[in-house]
Amino acid sequence: MTWTRRHILSLEDFTIEEYNAVLQTAASFREVLSRRTKKVPALQGQVIANMFFEPSTRTRSSFELAAKRLSADILNFAPGTSSLTKGETILDTAKTYLAMGANIMTIRHQQAGVPQIIAQEMDRLDSGVSILNAGDGLHQHPSQALLDLFTLTSVLDRDNPRLELLSGKKIAIVGDILHSRVARSNIYSLTAAGADVHLCAPPTLLPKLFLDIVDGEASNKLFLHWELTPALEDADFVMTLRLQKERMSGNFIPSLREYHQRYGITRNRLKLCHPDVKVLHPGPVNRGVEITSDLMDDPELSLIPHQVTSGVAVRMALLYLIGSSN
Amino acid sequence: MTWTRRHILSLEDFTIEEYNAVLQTAASFREVLSRRTKKVPALQGQVIANMFFEPSTRTRSSFELAAKRLSADILNFAPGTSSLTKGETILDTAKTYLAMGANIMTIRHQQAGVPQIIAQEMDRLDSGVSILNAGDGLHQHPSQALLDLFTLTSVLDRDNPRLELLSGKKIAIVGDILHSRVARSNIYSLTAAGADVHLCAPPTLLPKLFLDIVDGEASNKLFLHWELTPALEDADFVMTLRLQKERMSGNFIPSLREYHQRYGITRNRLKLCHPDVKVLHPGPVNRGVEITSDLMDDPELSLIPHQVTSGVAVRMALLYLIGSSN
Amino acid sequence: MTWTRRHILSLEDFTIEEYNAVLQTAASFREVLSRRTKKVPALQGQVIANMFFEPSTRTRSSFELAAKRLSADILNFAPGTSSLTKGETILDTAKTYLAMGANIMTIRHQQAGVPQIIAQEMDRLDSGVSILNAGDGLHQHPSQALLDLFTLTSVLDRDNPRLELLSGKKIAIVGDILHSRVARSNIYSLTAAGADVHLCAPPTLLPKLFLDIVDGEASNKLFLHWELTPALEDADFVMTLRLQKERMSGNFIPSLREYHQRYGITRNRLKLCHPDVKVLHPGPVNRGVEITSDLMDDPELSLIPHQVTSGVAVRMALLYLIGSSN
């Protein structure tokens, strides 16, 4: 296929061809990353502005490393030492980077919709710049869901990861669904793949209206559970989500200990799942809350390090696909 | 001409030949920046230390991008996480970067004169290091004035920007002149070009002694206004300046609203100017204070994005000229 | 020799062959650094993660520049904007960088032992990653001691610096020994070289148990003094240490002024030493406390700028040696 999408803002309207293009491109970059010299000149001379208005270790470093391995030049925007403190609007900051020659902007912001607004402005100006949503509020985190997809499909066929491999698989997503942009993005990609997606959380963190996030055929693929057992039964994959400790003050859960007792993933509980089950977590992990420490460190059961490694390959793929079509 | 100036600290004693060398070199780099691969190996293996003791988005990023496109290695100095917190003197910090092999240091500091002091020390040590003043207190901001000059002369002759193009042009500089190092640097370059420079601000922000900033022939080119109308009449260019909100507490202006009413640049007020008038602003802009939002975004009237783009080309030119003559 | 050590955590068990390999490799990189193009492709495509949990200008910049000159890709970890603020453990942060493809991690941490713990975990995972201790608590700072060693031996034979040159030399280390990881690392390297090491500090900053830091033959090479005169008499080199001002509150010294009167190094006091004596300091310096300002700036007596320059060459050597043996 020829890649035509300029911005990657949400997975809501991603096509099967687009998912597969990302998976195949990421697989070829994974091969590059296994070489001693892990660099390709694909985006040499292009400028990628990393605009992270919200703190992040792993996503920022992952994008930065992906960009370096494509030989792009990188501008890191640090809001603390920036013109924002002088009252400049976010759009004006983005237009400044545009005028400096940025070709791609990766944007993380605590407010949902900021990457969309910047993308609209870039299009209105006919700038040719691509926007990559690196996480916006509670809305979307497409690169995370795509690296999860790459991780899952690579388990099933490492040489040829593709969307259809997940058809009919049961995938449980357990944890703070309500506040998770990772969950929202994954629901789109996994139901598009034809997987059965079972969401599980306490009722305060999983309102019924979540069933409306998808429609059409996909809505038959989405299930809600307030108890763990039915979610885990025969599951092929269990995706755990980070429980942000600041949620405690909102009375969403009674205590971390009680949360772990009812929803924490343990080696024992995994016996409910398919014998080949694997566990994922987007990180950073609260050890002993969402997942026990020994399970997280078990290379037979945990895909967590694979997710991080996949992140670099998938982000190289995304930057390459939108950067080459510019 | 052969470039011989080692440091760029102030425009006070810049020669016509130096201005034109910067403009012509910047024009050739603008051509490089329009290519797909925007890099040249001019400063490969040289080390540029960006020492920004004062926060900055655009100037720091602009210098960083210019250095990357010349293939230099960059050391970013962040005062927050630095030895300054351990009591080291600024001169000792600079000498540390010298000993590490820095060839050029770009320095921004809230105190006027810091780049000059470091330059003197570097010369005393016979180090061969060049200092580039990236803004010192209320004193000078030469790279900003040079990018303004490049922007203005490029409007008049894009292929061959040169100082004489501004001879006899009327240029209004409106806003907080008193606290503006940008205005101080521009007064030198624009009067050197033979332009008529009309400064306009409330009396609290424009003391009469500003007339003494230039002498000789240039002093006939400098005019002061406390009202906007005579400054704008038949102006070819209007340079607006940032009004720093922290000035409010000093009782320099009665209110932002009243300031805008008397000195804000609007589409209507521009009718006083020459029909081809263009507006500049060094950024970041307080929309609706110094300039109306619609005017700022009007590509027919606003040169603001051109200034940012020019910034990268001009800073490449400055780094190249002083880096090649080392 | 063939370099086999994977991690550089402490100098306690360094062999003479290892010291000499570092010195000779650093000497060859010093030659590279004197060229106009100061870069070699030795570590191209390798990823070096600089994980500085403690603020630092000179050590971080020195490692960063060394990595750039070896053409490695660099990931800078800034704890302020990181997942640490979200409660991630240090080991999980390190494993994230491992999964992203880091080949070498340079680690500075305020707690002694952190680099060791990360190195053990990297080995347990059979990761092949190398850990370079960039300063841990009061424990060790091996790259600083190695650059001191390179500086000292280069004074004695610039073309062929080697450990044996220091045999029988008298080296005084003066200052806050108790809180100095630099002193601890230097004691190992200098006694291994066969130098006589004379520690000098007020009793509160130099407990007697320091004599136990080395054993065997080396213990005959280590001397303690609470007065300056016997430490300086006929000394070939005087290493001064930083007096951290925060120690004042712990009542370790009566006042900075009194400390300087009794232990500060002055031009007059150096007359006690060997006529060719040279002075070192790891920086940043409290001018007028550990050492007088004029002495620090005297190129005949002070090796301080040479130490900083040596730092880049030695860190290139360390990264190269462990990076090539990966």
- Find the closest chain B residue to A41 by CA distance: B37
Predicted confidence at residue B266, as pLDDT, reads 97
Contact B57 A75 (CB under 8 A): no
The order of strands in the sheet holding B130-136 is B73-77, B47-52, B104-109, B130-136
Per-residue pLDDT of C34-52, as tens digits, reads 887 788 999 998 999 999 9
Is the pLDDT at B234 greater than 60, yes or no? yes
Task: Please indicate whether residue B173 or residue B211 has the higher confidence score (pLDDT).
Answer: B173
Is the pLDDT at A81 greater than 60, yes or no? no
Contact A57 C77 (CB under 8 A): yes
State yes or no: ipTM above 0.85. yes
Q: What is the maximal distance between C-alpha atoms in chain B?
A: 57
Over residues B256-273, mean pLDDT:
95
Burial of residue B215, with CB atoms counted within 10 A of its CB: 0-12 exposed, 13-18 middle, 19 or more buried: exposed
Predicted confidence at residue A230, as pLDDT, reads 98
Task: Please indicate whether residue C121 or residue A256 has the higher confidence score (pLDDT).
Answer: C121
Over residues A209-225, mean pLDDT:
91
B100 → closest Cβ in C39, C286, C309? C309
Per-residue pLDDT of A103-147, as tens digits, reads 999 999 999 999 999 999 999 999 999 999 999 999 999 999 999
- What is the C-alpha end-to-end distance of chain C, expressed in Å? 16
**In chain B, which residues have their Cβ closer than 8 Å to the Cβ of C55?**
80-82, 85
Per-residue pLDDT of B110-123, as tens digits, reads 999 999 999 999 99
Is the pLDDT at A83 greater than 80, yes or no? no
Predicted confidence at residue A253, as pLDDT, reads 83
- What residues of C are in the B interface, CB distance below 8 Å? 33, 35-39, 52, 55-58, 60-62, 64-65, 68-69, 78, 80, 242, 244-245, 283-287, 304-309, 311-312
Is the pLDDT at A162 greater than 80, yes or no? yes
**In chain B, which residues have their Cβ closer than 8 Å to the Cβ of A98?**
305
Q: Give the global pTM.
A: 0.93
Q: What is the rounded distance in angstroms from the CA atom of residue C38 to the CA atom of residue C287?
A: 32
Architecture of the domain delimited by C142-303: 3-Layer(aba) Sandwich (3.40)
Predicted confidence at residue B247, as pLDDT, reads 65
B320 — phi, psi (to 5°)? -65, -45
- What residues of B are in the C interface, CB distance below 8 Å? 44-47, 73, 75, 77, 80-89, 92-93, 95-101
The order of strands in the sheet holding A104-109 is A73-77, A47-52, A104-109, A130-136
Predicted confidence at residue B83, as pLDDT, reads 55
Stretches where chain C sits below pLDDT 50 are none
The 10 Å Cβ neighbour count of residue C48 is 26
A69 annotated as belonging to a binding site for a ligand: no
**In chain C, which residues have their Cβ closer than 8 Å to the Cβ of B86?**
242, 244, 284
Q: What is the rounded distance in angstroms from the CA atom of residue B23 to the CA atom of residue B161?
A: 6
Per-residue 3-state assignment (H helix, E strand, C coil) for C166-181 = HCCCEEEEECCCCCCH
The alpha-helical segments, DSSP class H, found in C175-264 are 181-192, 228-232, 256-263
A12: left (phi over 0), alpha (psi -120 to 50) or beta: alpha
Query: What is residue B20's three-state secondary structure?
Result: helix
Contact C100 A308 (CB under 8 A): yes
The 10 Å Cβ neighbour count of residue B257 is 12
Over residues A255-266, mean pLDDT:
93
Over residues B229-236, mean pLDDT:
98
User: How distant, in Å, are the alpha carbons of A63, A87, C41 from that of C324?
Assistant: 26, 49, 12
Task: Sketch the domain layout of chain A as residue ranges.
Answer: 16-141+308-324, 143-303
CATH number for the domain whose boundaries are A143-303: 3.40.50.1370
Over residues A305-321, mean pLDDT:
97
Confirm whether A16-141+308-324 and A143-303 share one CATH topology: yes
* Average pLDDT across chain B, whole number: 93
Is the pLDDT at A84 greater than 70, yes or no? no
Over residues B287-315, mean pLDDT:
96
Per-residue pLDDT of B17-42, as tens digits, reads 999 999 999 999 999 888 877 889 99
B283 annotated as belonging to a binding site for a ligand: yes
Which residue matches tokens 């400049």?
A: A88
Residue type, C282: P
- Find the closest chain B residue to A44 by CA distance: B37
Q: In sequence order, what are the beta bridge partners of A224? A: A199
**In chain A, which residues have their Cβ closer than 8 Å to the Cβ of B244?**
86
Predicted confidence at residue C35, as pLDDT, reads 83
A108 annotated as belonging to a binding site for a ligand: yes
| Of residues B169, B145, B107, the one with CA closest to residue B22 | B145
**In chain B, which residues have their Cβ closer than 8 Å to the Cβ of A47?**
38, 65
Is the pLDDT at B88 greater than 90, yes or no? no
The order of strands in the sheet holding C170-174 is C222-225, C196-200, C170-174, C237-240, C278-280
Among C32, C61, C150, C295, the strongest candidate for a mutation testing the B interface, having the largest count of B CBs within 10 A, is C61
Predicted confidence at residue C37, as pLDDT, reads 78
- What residues of A are in the C interface, CB distance below 8 Å? 33, 35-39, 52, 55-58, 60-62, 64-65, 68-69, 78, 80, 242, 244-245, 283-287, 304-309, 311-312
Contact A81 B308 (CB under 8 A): no
**In chain A, which residues have their Cβ closer than 8 Å to the Cβ of B286?**
87
Q: What is the rounded distance in angstroms from the CA atom of residue B125 to the CA atom of residue B147?
A: 31
B59 annotated as belonging to a binding site for a ligand: yes
CATH 3.40.50.1370: does it fit domain B142-306?
Answer: yes
Report the Cα C177 to chain-centroid distance in Å.
Answer: 14
CATH 3.40.50.1370: does it fit domain A16-141+308-324?
Answer: yes
Predicted confidence at residue B249, as pLDDT, reads 62
Q: Is the peptide bond before C284 cis (omega within 30 degrees of 0)?
A: yes
The alpha-helical segments, DSSP class H, found in chain B are 16-33, 58-69, 90-100, 114-124, 142-156, 181-192, 228-232, 256-263, 293-296, 304-324
- The fold of the B16-140+308-324 domain, in CATH, is Rossmann fold (3.40.50)
Q: What is the rounded distance in angstroms from the CA atom of residue C77 to the CA atom of residue C62?
A: 15
Contact C73 A35 (CB under 8 A): no
- Find the closest chain B residue to A80 by CA distance: B55
Q: How confident is the model at residue A35 (pLDDT cuts 50, 70, 90)?
A: confident
Contact B35 A45 (CB under 8 A): yes
